[in-house]
């Protein structure tokens, strides 16, 4: 199964993707994690991305698409993947469709996790404190939420128009949200 998880920063995409990875036995591909790995490695891409991420802005489509092309060409994605953090705009959604077509892979569904902005700010403030992440400061989070509203939210409509969108309430216990996702994407495999 090839899934895209959509939702504002802090909506729980990464947390739920990690659980879905085990459940569906496909890799979780987080563009944020891929970028942070490049930053940690000090690569030219990482240095470029570090400056952009610290401002709370989005890394260029060209950089992200190149990373995804490489990642999707690996054997562990043969049976699918869970992608979070991409696509973030309409151009990326179209580019992702084309990339998958080029690789002969079928896209299955986009799952949107919905969470109120104030809850997101609280969640990410806790993460910033626990992990020391500069990109989760309240100011950066507010900026990222504004960027999301302006650039990423239209992607939701893109997938809705293509009949590929499932909306899931992202508020509640981790188990409750996980169960809602599984029931939406794979009712035949639903957990109870």
Q: Which of 36, 71, 133, 160 is catalytic?
A: 133
| 13 is annotated as an active-site residue | yes
State the Cα–Cα distance between residues 65 and 56, nearest whole angstrom.
19
Say whether 20 sits in a helix, a strand or coil.
Answer: helix
The backbone torsions φ and ψ at residue 169, rounded to the nearest 5 degrees and listed phi first, read -65, 120
36 catalytic residue (yes or no): no
Using an 8 Å Cβ cutoff, are 37 and 71 in contact? no
Exactly one of 2, 19, 50, 144 is catalytic; name it: 144
| CA-based nearest residue to 162, from 107, 98, 113 | 107
Supply φ then ψ for residue 115, to 5 degrees.
-145, 140
Q: Which of 21, 36, 71, 127 is catalytic?
A: 127
Q: Is 113 exposed, middle or buried (0-12, 13-18, 19+ CB in 10 A)?
A: buried
- 34's CB contacts (< 8 A; 6+ apart) are 67, 71
Query: How far is the CA of 53 from the CAs of 7, 66, 75, 162, 190, in angstroms?
Result: 18, 18, 29, 30, 37
* Region of residue 163 (phi > 0: left; psi between -120 and 50: alpha; otherwise: beta): left
Catalytic residue, candidates 13, 19, 50, 180: 13
**Residue 78 annotated to the active site:** no
Which is the catalytic residue, given 2, 50, 88, 123? Answer: 88
Residue positions annotated with a catalytic role: 13, 88, 127, 133, 144
């Amino acid at each position: 199964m090839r899934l895209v998880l959509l939702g504002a920063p802090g909506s729980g995409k990464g947390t739920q993707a990690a659980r879905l990875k085990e459940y569906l036995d496909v890799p979780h591909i987080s563009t944020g994690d891929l970028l942070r790995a490049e930053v940690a490695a000090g690569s030219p891409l990482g240095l470029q991305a570090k400056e952009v991420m610290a401002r709370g802005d989005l890394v260029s489509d060209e950089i992200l698409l190149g990373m995804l092309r490489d990642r999707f060409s690996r054997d562990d994605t043969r049976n699918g993947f869970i992608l979070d953090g991409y696509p973030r705009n309409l151009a990326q959604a179209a580019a992702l469709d084309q990339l998958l077509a080029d690789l002969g892979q079928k896209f299955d569904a986009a799952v949107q996790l919905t969470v109120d902005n104030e809850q997101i700010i609280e969640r990410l403030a806790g993460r910033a404190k626990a992990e020391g992440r500069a990109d989760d400061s309240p100011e950066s989070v507010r900026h990222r939420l504004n960027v999301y509203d302006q650039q990423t939210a239209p992607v939701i409509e893109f997938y809705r128009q293509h009949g590929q969108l499932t909306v899931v309430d992202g508020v509640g216990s981790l188990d409750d949200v996980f169960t809602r996702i599984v029931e939406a994407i794979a009712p035949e495999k639903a957990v109870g």
